[in-house]
């Protein structure tokens, strides 16, 4: 007898991924995108710093960029054009200190920073009593604030232009308040010549509203009123819940439209900043005309003999990085190809 196949064919719906736009539909400018990767083998803390920087650059970066140990700078540059990548953030490590290079693709310039100190996002969260990281915090790009760079020096002007263009521009007349949830602050100290790099989350609190009442509106939870005589005691009774701290007039704004359930239009709200991390203290060491090559526009060691010493120092650092990469290649000779994958 003939056998009949009663198995039903299962239709699997293909997964559709939403493609990000390359041009801002409001300003019409090209949206900057970035790659964050390393130029040598990094220790554990610096690998975590690399992950924190990728998260900071969201949503216009490759969060799950997969690097192979034989990839060189040209490999990243070849895929940067089709993907619309405009900036490279490259971490490296020498026996003396870690370095961060920020470059504009494809022709530069390249800024080399020495990382004097750094703290990871997890360390900052552990130091806080109530760390704040909502699910949609990294849905939009952060705002950029530069302080102390207006000294008129040429290398500081280049630094300002590069960091201003590394994040999408905003139009203050059309920007949505709900999209302004993060802030990147760079503060230059002209005495120490160091740059403080900070990453904050932005939240608004209505002025003159107690913390207990604010939580009631936000969380939709029924309060415990068993020990109260009237509902008004929940709002007016002294000592019930902690009142909001004194608000500084300089840190209050008047909203143009509603933002959430608590912050209403035409009402005053206090702007609160809470650090998210990572935190870095950077020192500008060198500015090159091209992409990690070309003439030196600025050097921390000055011109003449100082410049030669700097070039020699950089060459030694590059040799150390190449030796580390060669050692890794010897351990991984069976690994083929020079592909860069992005999930």
Q: Where do the domains of the chain lie, and which CATH numbers do they carry? A: 34-204+276-317 (3.40.50.10480)
pTM of this structure: 0.75
Per-residue pLDDT tens, the chain, 343 aa: give them: 556 565 555 555 554 445 566 776 555 678 999 999 998 889 999 999 999 999 999 999 999 998 888 889 999 999 999 999 999 999 999 999 999 999 999 998 999 999 999 999 999 999 999 888 888 899 999 999 999 998 889 999 999 999 999 999 888 888 888 888 999 999 999 999 999 999 999 988 777 666 666 666 556 666 666 677 776 666 665 443 333 444 455 577 666 666 665 666 666 778 889 999 899 999 999 999 999 999 999 999 876 333 444 444 444 444 454 444 444 444 444 444 444 555 4
Q: What per-residue confidence (pLDDT) applies to 314?
A: 47
Cα–Cα–Cα angle for 42, 185, 271, rounded to 5 degrees: 130
Q: What per-residue confidence (pLDDT) applies to 297?
A: 93
Please list, in sequence order, all residues whose beta carbon lies within 8 angstroms of the beta carbon of residue 34, skipping any fewer than 6 positions away.
57, 60, 61, 85, 86, 87, 88, 89, 166
Q: What per-residue confidence (pLDDT) applies to 171?
A: 83
| Tokens standing for residue 240 | 């019930």
Strands in 97-176 per DSSP E: 98-104, 110-119, 143-147
Quick one: the chain helix, strand, coil %, rounded to 5?
25, 25, 50
Q: What per-residue confidence (pLDDT) applies to 152?
A: 85
Lookup result for tokens 């709200």: 269
Using DSSP bridges, classify how beta strands 87-93 and 34-38 pair: parallel, antiparallel or unpaired.
Answer: parallel
Q: DSSP letters along 303-322, please?
A: STHHHHHHHHHHHHHHHHHH
Q: What per-residue confidence (pLDDT) applies to 301?
A: 86
Please list, in sequence order, all residues whose beta carbon lies within 8 angstroms of the beta carbon of residue 139, skipping any fewer than 6 positions away.
59, 179, 181
């Amino acid at each position: 007898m003939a056998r009949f196949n009663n198995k039903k064919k299962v239709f699997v719906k293909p997964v559709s991924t939403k493609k990000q736009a390359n041009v801002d539909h409001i300003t019409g400018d090209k949206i900057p995108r970035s790659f964050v990767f390393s130029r040598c083998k990094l220790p554990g803390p610096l690998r975590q710093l690399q992950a924190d920087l990728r998260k900071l650059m969201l949503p216009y970066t490759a969060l799950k960029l997969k690097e192979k140990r034989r990839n060189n700078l040209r490999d990243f540059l070849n895929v940067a054009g089709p993907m619309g990548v405009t900036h490279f953030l490259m971490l490296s490590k020498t026996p003396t200190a870690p370095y961060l290079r920020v470059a504009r693709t494809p022709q530069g310039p390249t800024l080399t920073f020495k990382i004097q100190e750094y703290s990871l996002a997890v360390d900052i969260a552990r130091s806080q009593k109530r760390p704040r990281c909502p699910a949609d915090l990294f849905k939009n790009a952060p705002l950029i604030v530069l302080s102390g760079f207006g000294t008129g020096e040429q290398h500081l002007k280049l630094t300002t232009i590069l960091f201003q263009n590394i994040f999408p521009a905003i139009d203050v007349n059309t920007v949505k308040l709900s999209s302004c949830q993060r802030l990147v602050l760079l503060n230059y100290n002209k005495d120490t010549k160091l740059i403080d790099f900070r990453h904050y989350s932005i939240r608004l609190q209505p002025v003159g509203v107690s913390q207990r009442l604010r939580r009631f509106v936000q969380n939709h939870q029924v309060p415990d009123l068993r020990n109260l005589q009237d509902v008004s005691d929940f709002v007016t009774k002294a000592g019930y819940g902690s009142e909001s701290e004194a608000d500084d007039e300089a840190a209050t704004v008047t909203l143009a439209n509603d933002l959430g359930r608590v912050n209403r239009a035409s009402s005053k709200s206090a702007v609160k900043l809470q650090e998210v991390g990572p935190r870095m203290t950077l020192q500008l060491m060198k500015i090159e005309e091209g992409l990690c090559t070309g003439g030196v526009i600025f050097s921390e060691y000055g011109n003449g003999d100082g410049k030669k010493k700097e070039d020699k120092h950089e060459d030694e650092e590059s040799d150390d990085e190449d030796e580390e990469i060669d050692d890794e290649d010897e351990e991984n000779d069976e690994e083929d190809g020079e592909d860069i994958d992005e999930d």
